[in-house]
Amino acid sequence: LAKTTQPISMDSYEGQEVNITCSHNNIATNDYITWYQQFPSQGPRFIIQGYKTKVTNEVASLFIPADRKSSTLSLPRVSLSDTAVYYCLVGKDRGSTLGRLYFGRGTQLTVWP
Amino acid sequence: GAVVSQHPSRVICKSGTSVKIECRSLDFQATTMFWYRQFPKQSLMLMATSNEGSKATYEQGVEKDKFLINHASLTLSTLTVTSAHPEDSSFYICSARPGTSGVPTGNEQFFGPGTRLTVL
């Protein structure tokens, strides 16, 4: 499984755009990149998933360069409620064998007023 | 859609007792469910993979006799912490992965809200 490296913490102010970068140098050809968000005492929540280039949904954008050795989660105009831990995971898609997820340390994002 | 529930949300028990935690996928069928444990200020640690109708697969270092997992139906998996001790106190989270015939689609897993276990 590809190991991921993220900053331990980030701070931002309301209304700013936040970019969280994840390194995954050993990503395999058929690995996907998935980001989850977790609030205290809650289960993680799926944010976005991508394989290459750019993916955008109503919550965030995910930028993946051509070499796929890193990815950047972009949160537009964050609010106080975006304060959470964000996890970057790399793994095979649902078509393969087990779908296990191994969480790294994640990035604690704190949004200030 | 894609809701996973856990029951109870919080449990306090005495040392030596057993505690059962339920994980249900409410609006989809989950052929595979996963159990995680999370200590304060730490990340989620995968404990085991639970497949409907078969024995669970435990991660290295997780005692299968301590953490009994049953996945009797496509919507229910249970985790029983047997002879619980204070060091078992943790936040237990399950997740469910849709089967090939169900919705929603995609690679994501859907997580339950977690169960806070405190062993006195």
Tell me: the pLDDT tens digits for A32-80? 888 999 999 999 998 998 999 999 999 999 999 999 999 999 999 999 9
**pLDDT of amino acid B28:** 87
| C-alpha–C-alpha distance, residues A7 and A19, integer Å | 11
Separation CA A32–CA A6 (nearest Å) = 17
Compute the average pLDDT of residues B9-19: 97
Which two structure tokens, joined as six digits, stand for A81?
């409620």
- Chain A residues whose CB is inside 8 A of the B37 CB are none
Name which residue leads in pLDDT, B117 or B50: B117
Query: For A85, which residue in chain B has the nearest alpha carbon?
Result: B43
- How confident is the model over A74-90, as a mean pLDDT? 95
Cross-chain Cβ contact B114/A43 below 8 Å: yes
Residues of B in contact with A51 (CB under 8 A): none
Residue-level pLDDT at A28: 86
Positive or negative, the CA dihedral B76, B116, B108, A95 is negative
A97 or A12, greater pLDDT: A12
Chain A nearest-CA distance from B54, in A, is 14
Residues facing residue A90 across a β-bridge? A33
Query: What string of DSSP letters covers A57-87?
Result: -SS-EEEE-TT-SEEEEEESS--GGG-EEEE
B109 burial via Cβ count (<10 Å: 0-12, 13-18, 19+): buried
pLDDT at A97 over 50: no
Contact (CB<8Å) B107/A101: no
Taking residues B69-96, what's their average pLDDT? 94
User: In what helix (H) or strand (E) does residue A91 lie, and over which residues does it extend?
Assistant: strand A84-92
Could you tell me which residues come within 8 angstroms of residue A113 by beta carbon, excluding any fewer than 6 positions away?
A13, A14, A80
Residues 6+ apart with CB under 8 A from B42: none
Residues on chain B touching A38 (C-beta within 8 angstroms): 44
- For residue B49, list chain A residues with Cβ-Cβ distance below 8 A: 98, 100
In this predicted structure, what is the pLDDT of residue A73?
98
Tell me if chain B has a CB within 8 Å of the CB of A51.
no
List the single residue in B with minimal CA-CA distance to A107.
B43
Question: Which chain B positions have a beta carbon within 8 Å of A44's beta carbon?
Answer: 44, 93, 95, 111
Residue A77, min C-alpha distance to chain B (Å): 25
Whether the per-residue pLDDT at B12 is higher than 60: the answer is yes
Mean pLDDT of the region B24-36: 90
Task: For chain A, positions 75-104, list CB contacts with chain B under 8 A.
Answer: 87, 93-94, 98-104
Chain B, nearest residue to A43 by Cα = B113
Write the DSSP symbol of residue A51: S
Residues A83-109 have a mean pLDDT of 78
Coil, strand, or helix at residue B75?
Answer: coil
* Cα gap A98→B69, rounded to integer Å: 17
pLDDT at residue A95 greater than cutoff 50: no
Cα A91 to Cα A32: distance, rounded to the nearest angstrom: 5
